[in-house]
Amino acid sequence: MKEIEFWFSIGSTYTYLSVTRIAEVARETGATFSWQPFSVRRIMREMDNVPFPPSKQVKVDYMWRDIERRAQDYGFTAKVPAPYPLGKFDLANCVAVLAMQEGWCEDYVRATYRRWFVDGQEAGSEPNLSQTLEEIGQNVARVLERAGDLDIEAAYVEQTDRAQRAGIFGSPSYIVDGEVFWGDDRLEDAVVWAKKSG
Amino acid sequence: MKEIEFWFSIGSTYTYLSVTRIAEVARETGATFSWQPFSVRRIMREMDNVPFPPSKQVKVDYMWRDIERRAQDYGFTAKVPAPYPLGKFDLANCVAVLAMQEGWCEDYVRATYRRWFVDGQEAGSEPNLSQTLEEIGQNVARVLERAGDLDIEAAYVEQTDRAQRAGIFGSPSYIVDGEVFWGDDRLEDAVVWAKKSG
């Protein structure tokens, strides 16, 4: 079965669902995922896509309720509305880029999302960031310094360029065998595609 | 099991999926649906929600591919891209309002969507509209005259007002027991909710 690329931005609300359940999906189906952080915010800005303007409050209200219901169906909790939008979006995701390079991406992203959606602590800001890093055994000072380095920023830009070239415009997205699947509710479709693709 | 309200606008692309598979879902699950046409276009305009501006072409391309894939998974065909947007959106839906009052709504909507998404004939326009009405045994001249009457227009406005008050902002949407479910991919969730609600 082909590996599935899991493209995400910390800051996306629906991404909470995928981040939290993806390990169980992998266990149950045998699917494997490579975690790929990028900036959905940059891509949406370039598309003039404003996710939640005031005129769309009814849609925002629906989104939180939908996330709450889906989380319950999956067997976990979402305290909604979670703090939104993130003040430190890029920092949260630059840490994920560093984590990807060093092999602790999944642990970091799942833990920071749990603090955000269960404990109500904004991802990318304090106390979420430091407490998450401590929880997963990373040195806070080292990570915060490295996450600001130019090579990490360059890798973040490159990840976002790659996502854009692949046709990604939202988070979470899955890519397998050249097919893009957008949204937590397409995770199972991506797994089926991976099985078909051998 | 509580009846599920199925809110739709002819002109919505994803609505093709629900319209085409809802009868089978009803058969398999025992769910019942009341078909409720409304103007998603009016509601989106009032939300400043432009579904497919040029800056979002990548999202449009994804949408067609997603619909094509989902239709295949469900076991039917979608020839994409279908003609879009509809030139006669309101006429297509006023005929649906009349059909709702007279009891032939599901037959009309399914047939006009099939001609739109399989034969490439725009819904609400000729030859789709007349051929659809003939196919389902309706007198074309009578229906076209009635669909333009003031009471049908008023009922269309009232349907849209009801949808808006219920928190609907997109098509297809399902309402059961006060819960709104948006999107063809939430049809199964609505059925589960209907079963829980007794």
Res A49: pLDDT? 78
Q: Looking at the complex, does the CB of residue A189 fall below 8 Å from at least one CB of chain B?
A: yes
SS3 B113: helix
CATH number of A4-196: 3.40.30.10
For the segment B96-143, what is each residue's pLDDT rounded down to a tens digit?
Answer: 999 999 999 999 999 999 999 999 999 999 999 999 999 999 999 999
Within 10 A of B127 (CB to CB), how many other CB atoms are there?
Answer: 12
Q: Looking at the complex, does the CB of residue B178 fall below 8 Å from at least one CB of chain A?
A: no
- Two structure tokens written together for B158: 């009232």
pLDDT band at residue A69 using 50, 70 and 90 as cut-offs = very high
Q: Hey, are the CB atoms on B169 and A56 less than 8 Å from each other? A: yes
Nearest to B47 among A55, A167, A180 (CB): A55
* Chain A residue closest in CA terms to B48: A55
Q: Hey, are the CB atoms on B182 and A48 less than 8 Å from each other? A: no
Q: Hey, are the CB atoms on A48 and B55 less than 8 Å from each other? A: yes
Q: Which of B14, B47, B181 to mutate to test the interface with A (most CBs of A within 10 A)?
A: B47
Nearest to B169 among A59, A182, A186 (CB): A59
Type and span of the H or E element at B179: strand B179-182
Q: Which amino acid is present at B137?
A: G
pLDDT band at residue B48 using 50, 70 and 90 as cut-offs = confident
Distance from the B168 Cα atom to the nearest Cα atom in chain A, whole angstroms = 8
Q: Hey, are the CB atoms on A58 and B189 less than 8 Å from each other? A: no
pLDDT(B52) > 80: no
Mean pLDDT of chain A: 96
Mean pLDDT of chain B: 96
pLDDT(A55) > 90: no
Q: Is A73 exposed, middle or buried (0-12, 13-18, 19+ CB in 10 A)?
A: exposed
Distance from the A58 Cα atom to the nearest Cα atom in chain B, whole angstroms = 6
For the segment A151-177, what is each residue's pLDDT rounded down to a tens digit?
Answer: 999 999 999 999 999 999 999 999 999
Question: How is the beta sheet containing B173-176 ordered, strand by strand?
Answer: B33-37, B4-8, B173-176, B179-182
Nearest CA-CA partner of A95 in A109, A85, A83, A111: A109
In chain A, what residues touch B191 (CB-CB under 8 Å)?
Answer: none
Q: Mean pLDDT throughout B42-58?
A: 84
Distance from the A193 Cα atom to the nearest Cα atom in chain B, whole angstroms = 10
For the segment B55-101, what is each residue's pLDDT rounded down to a tens digit?
Answer: 789 999 999 999 999 999 999 999 999 999 999 999 999 999 999 99
Residue identified by tokens 């099939």 is B114
Q: What is the per-residue DSSP string for chain A?
A: -PPEEEEE-BTBSTHHHHHHHHHHHHHHH---EEEEE--HHHHHHHTT--S--GGGHHHHHHHHHHHHHHHHHHT----SSPP-S-TTHHHHHHHHHHHHHHT-HHHHHHHHHHHHHTS-PPTTSTTHHHHHHHHTT--HHHHHHHHTSHHHHHHHHHHHHHHHHTT--SSSEEEETTEEEESGGGHHHHHHHHHHT-
Q: A179 forms bridges with which residues in the sheet? A: A176
Distance from the B169 Cα atom to the nearest Cα atom in chain A, whole angstroms = 7
Assess contact for A180 and A163: CB atoms under 8 A. no
Res A53: pLDDT? 74
Assess contact for B124 and B86: CB atoms under 8 A. yes
For the segment B16-29, what is each residue's pLDDT rounded down to a tens digit?
Answer: 999 999 999 999 99
Q: Mean pLDDT throughout B147-170?
A: 98
Res B47: pLDDT? 87
Q: Which amino acid is present at A184?
A: D
In chain A, what residues touch B185 (CB-CB under 8 Å)?
Answer: 185
pTM score > 0.90 for this model?
yes
Q: Hey, are the CB atoms on A69 and B180 less than 8 Å from each other? A: no
* Chain A residue closest in CA terms to B66: A181
In chain A, what residues touch B172 (CB-CB under 8 Å)?
Answer: none
